[in-house]
Amino acid sequence: MIQALEKLLEDDTAGDPMGGLRWTRRTTEKVSVELSSAGIQVSPNTVARLLRELGYALRVNHKKRAARATHPDRNRQFEYIAALRRSFQRRGLPIISIDTKKKELVGCFKNNGTAWTQRAREVYDHDFRSDATGFAIPYGIYDFGANRGHIFVGTSHETPAFASDAVRLWWVHDGHPRYPHADEILILADGGGSNGSRNRAWKLALQTKLADRHGLSVTVCHYPPGASKWNPIEHRLFSEISKNWAGKPLDSYETLLKYIRTTKTKTGLTVKATLIERAYETGLEPEAADVEAIHLRRHNSLPAWNYTVAPRA
């Protein structure tokens, strides 16, 4: 029953990337009805108990949002992403969720949370970057089919070149060995940042580093504005890493990588970590001719958020 419930809520779950708390858009009554239609008779109260066992929680209203309307195409995009995920899953094709985790100062700084120790460790009383031995930019890739994560830790800047390098390295070392016959991949991403829906350098990098170099058709779906916590990597990967290193100072890159690599869950999640020490320049814009040459097909449904970059002949 637990597995059926998790499968039912797969496309309707959001979560906190730090604490691991999860929530869903569906009511217990609706979940009960849908399970009953699948031959599983269960009451709404039992659904609520099972949800708590899976780490879901009831949420109360907090006055933290600006007074602006939700994007009118929000639900339509959620439904489109769910349909594409089912299509790729049926064909055994890779689906990855990508995003950048909270950036971290490397050094003897306080890390939120608590840890079982004989005595509290002393850390700096202020978080000045000038006192840090480094700066960590954890760019994550979560593979749905394998329940595997890979964090690429950058040391300079979060740029489209860094994001695309991470995805390419994941494909070379994890994706292609795991899916040797795949010629398509689905990427789920937030709408902004280094892999944003309007970022031309991101699309060009997908063309040159993945589509052309590896013969992959790369389909990208972006979550609507204000919906970043519905990106599965937040609650399936980032939250588990945050819990693993909670209360423990990230005093070196080696320490940070160790905590990422030792992150595991009862459901079988394992995580790899790779340090990328390349210096990435900011503010680089692609040439107009290069952008025009991208073999990009925008989807009929919400083309600003959904597109495919195909290999050039």
Reported as a pLDDT band with limits 50, 70 and 90, residue 5 is low
| Single pTM value for the model | 0.79
Residues 36-46 have pLDDT tens digits of 777 787 787 78
Instruction: Record the tokens describing residue 27, joined without a space.
Output: 């009511």
Q: Which residues, in sequence order, are CB contacts of 90 under 8 Å at separation 6+?
A: none
Pair 145, 230 in one domain: yes
Residues 165-206 have pLDDT tens digits of 999 999 999 999 999 999 999 999 999 999 999 999 999 999
219 φ/ψ angles, rounded to the nearest 5 degrees:
-100, 130
Pair 275, 175 in one domain: yes
Residues in the chain: 313
**Closest among 220, 226, 229 to 197, alpha carbons compared:** 220
Pair 156, 242 in one domain: yes
Pair 115, 16 in one domain: no
The radius of gyration of the chain from alpha carbons, rounded to an integer in Å, stands at 20
Pair 17, 139 in one domain: no
Q: What is the pLDDT of residue 209?
A: 98
Beta-strand ranges (E) seen in the chain are 13-15, 22-24, 95-100, 104-106, 134-143, 148-154, 184-189, 217-222, 270-276, 296-298, 306-309
* 183 CA to centre of own chain: 22
Distance CA 90, CA 84 (A): 10
Pair 121, 24 in one domain: no
| Chain mean pLDDT for the chain | 88
Pair 120, 204 in one domain: yes
Distance CA 144, CA 181 (A): 17
Residue, of 232 and 62, whose pLDDT is higher = 232
Pair 149, 283 in one domain: yes
Q: What is the pLDDT of residue 48?
A: 76
Range of the domain at 127: 74-309
In this prediction, residues 18-26 reach a mean pLDDT of 61
Q: What is the pLDDT of residue 260?
A: 98
**Closest among 196, 134, 159, 165 to 281, alpha carbons compared:** 159
| Runs of H (alpha helix) within the chain | 2-8, 28-37, 44-53, 74-90, 160-170, 176-178, 200-205, 213-214, 233, 239-244, 253-261, 288-292
In this prediction, residues 115-134 reach a mean pLDDT of 74
pLDDT at 67 > cutoff 50? no
Within a domain: 60: no
Distances (CA, A) of 4 to 9, 35, 40, 48: 9, 8, 9, 14
Total domains present in the chain: 2
Pair 35, 138 in one domain: no
